[in-house]
Each structure stands twice: as C-alpha cells, then as structure tokens.
Chains A and B, each alone.
Chain A
Amino acid sequence: MMHVLQLLMDGLIDGGAYALIGLGLSLTFGQLRRLNLAYGATAMLASYLGAALYATQRAPAWLVAVTVIVSATLIGWYVEWMCFARSGQESEQGFGPAIGAPIAGADGREVVALASSFAIWMQLEQLAVNLLPQHLNAFPSLAAQQDWVIDSSLGELMVRPDRLLLAILAAVMVLGLAVWLERSRTGLSWRACADRRLAAHLVGMPVARLQTAAFAAGCALSGFAAFAVLSLDGQVTPMFGMWVLLKGLVAAMLGGLGSVRGVLWGGLFLGVVEAFAQASVGAQGREFATYALLFFVLVVPWKPRQALGLSAGLRG
C-alpha cells in the first residue's frame, strides 16, 4: 500500500517537471499551429552554453540561469526565422486550412515546417556537441542534500524536497499562465491571433509580431524548464535534447497540444504511468511506456473533445 503511494507520489513529482517542459511546446503549437521539433535541441544548446559558462568562468547559478533563458530565446528566434517565419502567410488571407482541419499533402506548410524544424534540431545538437564534446558536462547544482522522510502508521514515505518544489513551481506556472491567457489583454490578443488570424489582423493587431512574441515566450519557458531540471541533476548530456522533446511532446499531446492546463494533467499522467512501468518492468519498460503512451494516444479512435492530440487554438 505504502509502496503504491510512494510510486504515485514519485510519478506526480516527475510529472510536474514534464509539465514544465511541455508548457513551451504547447504554447508555441497553440499560437502557430506548427510543431517545433527543434524545441528540445534549443533547450539543449542553451543549457550547453550555460554549462560552458559554468565550466570556464565558474559563473554563479543565477548567471547560468539567465544565460540559459536568454540564449534559448535567441536560438528560438533563429528557429522561428528558419522554419516558421512564413508559416502564417497562407492563412493570413483567410483561405488557409481551417483550424483543426486535416493537413494536406507533404507540401502542406505544416509538414514542411515540421521537417525543417527537424533539420534544425540536428544542426543545433551538433553545435552543442561541438561546443562541449564530453558526454557528461557539469551544471550548477541546486539539489537538496537530504530527503524528507514522512513517517506514518503505515510506513515511510520518501520525498525529495527539491523535486517537490519543482513540481509545485510547475503547477503554479502552468495555472498562472492559463489564468494570464484568459484574463489579461495580451493573453486575449494571443488567443485571438491563434484562433482567427484574419479577424485579429482586421481589428488592428500586429499578428506577426504577437506570434513571434509568443514563440519567444515559449522558448524562454523551455530555457527556464531546462535550467530547473538540469540544476537538480547537476549535469547535462547530449541525450538531453531528445529527452526534453519527447517528454514535453507526450505531456503536451496527452493534454491536447495548445491547451495550457492540459499540459499539467498530461505531464502528471505521464509521470505516474512511467513510475509504475519502471517499478514493474525496469528502466527499459519506462522508456517503452513513454513511446507506447504517445503512440496509443495518437491512434486511439475515441477521444474526449479537445483533449489528446491536437486541440483547436490556444487555450488557458
């Protein structure tokens, strides 16, 4: 009983980190209707820059954090310029595919943007590896030294306070962003651009600029998430880019890409499933569970409205 509770809690705490990672991806997708596959590589290159600064200058953690977030934003701009800059043009005229409509052939701009962001992924990853060729690179560590042990009449529960804090932070950020999107004027304009580009343009919104801002915000979030996750591990490896993309993608797709609150539920669900898979099959079972979950989410014919897979527009 206590074992199950422990697994459940570990899963939920891990899931918080996944939600934080998926947040930027979901925000970008909701705004541009394009999946940014270079998302993980952006976070990886940014954290490699941070790690390089830490290794050469012994920079303090806050400076590394600022470096990671700023460079993620700058790399994100480059990614947007290479892959997504023209993405809105066909729908700017109002003739583009309706939101949520099936995507046309390989020359449909969605799929082209997908493929070119994949190419940029390879590029950024290679740049990161060229920067720091070792497999393990030190990263400023903020990990707690001791675990909390909760004693109760049924047994002991182990909690890592740093990870718990990260999960709480993730939940606060997700819910805060959701409320901000729903309540604030800027959030309203972002959602308007995502829902009806033409209408937003007609009422005088600078659509392209708002989209770039949302993209940059998504990338800054990815930089923040990368720093938060890596500072608990104290190291960064070349596998990090793939890890960020896959965990973020599964979390965001489970909750419906484009839905901000959905990322939180998706991430928590993924965390719990992984924790149980790891306990019953081992590390490879955990890996398999992630992909199997993603696969079945996509192919399952019945879906609750607006959750699982792609959702329509950007939602809080």
Chain B
Amino acid sequence: MNEMVGAHLIGLSSDMAIMSLLALSAYLLLLVGKVSFGQQAFFGLGAYASGVMSAMFHAPLLFALVFGMGVGALCSWLVALPTMPLSGLNYAVATLAFGEMARVALSLWYWQIDLGDGLVGPAAIDGFRDIRWLHENDVSPGQFFALTMFVLFCILILMLRSEHTRLGVALRMTGQDETLAATQGINVSRLRLFSATVAGALAALGGGLYAHRTTYVEPAIFDPMLGVHAVGYALLGGVGTALGPLVGVLFDLGLLDATHWFSGWRMVIFGGLVALFLRWRPRGFLDERLVHRFGSMFNAKRYP
C-alpha cells in the first residue's frame, strides 16, 4: 500500500515538475510583456523530436532531450520573428493559431521505421508509441523523478540568479514599459526574440521529459488548453519571481487536481480564481511588490 502511494506521489511530482517547465516558459514571455497561447506547440515539438531521437535512433536520453530543446528553440525563434512585432492582442491570437497549426501538422506526420520488433515512430493521428528508453535502460521512476527535479532546480537557480543581472533587469523593464526600455538603450526586439527562444527551449525540454515519462504522446495532448494552463499558472502564481509559476502549478495540480476534492469542478474553481486574481491583482500572487517587500526584509541590514 505504502509503495503504491509512494509511486503515485513520485508520478505526480514528476508531472508537476514537467508542468512547471511549461509554466516557466510562459512566464518568460509574460516577463517581456507578451501573453503566448502557443507554448504547447513547442512542448509537443520537443516531445516528438526527443522521442524520435531516443526511440528511433537509440540516442541517449540526455542527447535526445538536448536535441528536443534545440528543435523547440529553433521553431520558437522562427515563429517569434514575424509575430513578436505584433501588438499584445494580435500576438496572443497569432500564437494560438500557430499552436493549432503545429497540432494539426503533428497529426498529419507519419514516419515509421522497422527496428526488428515492429514499427516505431510518429503515426499521424494515432500518436507516437513506444518511447521506451527509460524501460530499456532500467531507469526507475524514482531516478527519473530525481533527474526531472534536478533539471528544474538548475533552471530555477539560473533564472533566480539572473534576476538581478543586467539581462534580468532589462527583461523586466521591457515588460513594464517597452518605450522607456528602448530609450535606455535596450534593444527591445532582440531581447524579446531571445526570450521567446529560451521559452521555446524550456517548453521543449518539458515535452521531452513528458514523452519519456509516459512513453506515448499524441497530437491531441497539445491542445490550446495545455498552453492556457501554463499561462494561467504563471499569472496566478505571480510574475514577480520565477517561483511564481511553481506556486501556480502547486496550487492547481497539487491541491485541486491531486486531492480529487473538487473533481469535475476543478476548472470552475481554477478559472474563476485566475479571473478574480487578474481583476484585483493583475500580476499574480507573488507580484513585484510582494517580492520586493520580502527581499527588502532580508536585505535590510545590508542597506540601512
């Protein structure tokens, strides 16, 4: 019994870490003042790309994940080139349209090869089965969970540390007021392209981990609701710090979904809360003001 509970907890925590990566990717775009409803596309592309590498070409997991990230970053950059100059509203709708284009394209993609024991590869609408690298290499769910947490931890540390660097300040400034940022000598459009590229890579990394955890992906998973959730997590948790999206994920997956207290009413509560939050606290729970207040509590001695 205890083992089952443990396995369930490990699975749930892995899912939460993976969703956190997607939420962080939405957060990176919110940081520069853009709402993207298309991050699920890079999640899906990363899942397919890393799955192809490990299941069809027997590449090691880490290489497959990095390859997926590369594909996600490249696609995200290519999409950001024409869409980034658009206004906030048009950008949001354009990313939504791109996300659906990618989903339909994945559901048309048929490419299977015979590896001795049957066909492997993306099979159009039926999805991509047998991404079994973890089973073939005897990686236990616990070890995979450790890997996922390690990846998430490294990314979080990197993002939190860069918050006070030149880059981090420039990103936040761009999001707050792009004209002001531009007058301070910040290349706003290049910074946004950079942000979108990194966001694509993060989403693709999450997708790669997801594909290997579940061993099976299908295009229908990458529907707009996935991307909307990612944006919702970041907006609910707060855009003041990279910890914000994690708070959102913990709240929705950890509290509303996992406990089954609200089964069937989860989206009613989550959607209503996000809307109420946006009305009275447009920058989420951990917004800049709260983060600053916390920060100044600890820094009080250094700056008397």
Contacts and interface: CB of A to CB of B under 8 A. Distances in A.
A170 B104 CA distance: 30
A304 to B, nearest CB: 16
A291 B104 contact: yes
A98 interface: no
Q: Which DSSP category, helix, strand, loop or mixed, fits chain A's interface?
A: helix
Given A105-B178, A108-B88, A295-B94, A122 B34 contact: no
A298 interface: yes
Contact of B270 (A102, A103, A122): A122
B224 to A, nearest CB: 8
Interface stretch (B14-22, B128-136, B156-164, B227-235): B227-235
Given A111-B35, A295-B94, A103 B88 contact: yes
B271 A299 contact: no
Contact of A119 (B34, B92, B275): B275
A288 B268 contact: no
A288 to B, nearest CB: 4
Interface size grouping (class) on chain B? 35 or more
A298 B86 contact: yes
Given A106-B175, A122-B267, A284-B108, A115 B90 contact: no
Contacts of A106: 30, 33-35, 88, 175, 239, 283
Interface in B58-107: 82-83, 86-90, 92-94, 97-98, 100-101, 104-105, 107
Nearest to B223: A242
B126 to A, nearest CB: 13
A82 B276 CA distance: 7
Question: Quick one: which of B35, B83, B93 has the most chain A CB within 10 A?
Answer: B93
A104 B178 contact: yes
Given A115-B231, A310-B87, A121 B100 contact: no
A126 B270 CA distance: 11
A111 B88 contact: yes
Main secondary structure of the interface of B (DSSP, over half): helix
B79 to A, nearest CB: 9
Contacts of B90: 298, 309-310
B26 to A, nearest CB: 10
Given A123-B270, A295-B94, 9 more contacts: A102-B87, A107-B282, A116-B278, A120-B275, A123-B272, A125-B267, A126-B265, A291-B101, A292-B97
Interface of A: 35, 82-83, 86, 102-112, 114-127, 130, 242, 246, 249, 253, 284, 287-288, 291-292, 294-295, 298-299, 309-310
28 contacts: A35-B89, A82-B276, A83-B278, A83-B279, A86-B279, A103-B88, A103-B89, A104-B177, A105-B176, A106-B34, A107-B283, A108-B33, A110-B89, A111-B35, A114-B89, A116-B279, A118-B231, A119-B271, A123-B272, A126-B266, A242-B224, A253-B93, A287-B104, A291-B104, A294-B93, A295-B98, A295-B101, A298-B86
Minimum-distance CB pairs A-B, first 3: A123-B271, A105-B33, A126-B267
